Amino acid sequence: MDCIARCVMGLVDNLRRLFSRGPDNLVSADAEALIDAFGPDAYEEARTRARSERTNEVVDLNRPRGHWDSVRREIARRTHRRSGADMATRYLDK
């Protein structure tokens, strides 16, 4: 399968997942997708996306406001990571 076909199939899968699930299931699906794609770095990726959303660098019209923060918390829960970061990390996130 060539690259274009894989991209189209991925897009179709994402659209199907988007329209067949409610907001809570979308958080779960995005958390699962980030864990699959980024492995141990999934939390940092979700945190980066949440920060970009908060600063309006990236606007995802397919996701409600605060979605990536919810995904970040879901990944922390699944990976048994403490989401209450140390003071330096809190400072950098602002």
How does pLDDT run across 41-74, given as a tens digit for each residue?
999 999 999 999 989 887 777 888 899 999 999 9
Q: 15 or 37: which carries more pLDDT confidence?
A: 37
d(CA 83, CA 90): 10
* Assigned token pair, 64: 């409600």
* Assigned token pair, 83: 């989401």
> What is the per-residue pLDDT for 19?
62
The structure's pTM equals 0.63
Q: For the chain, what are the domain ranges?
A: 22-93
Tens of pLDDT, residue by residue over 14-35, are 776 666 555 668 899 999 999 9
> What is the per-residue pLDDT for 73?
94
In residues, how long is the chain? Answer: 94
* Assigned token pair, 15: 């659209």
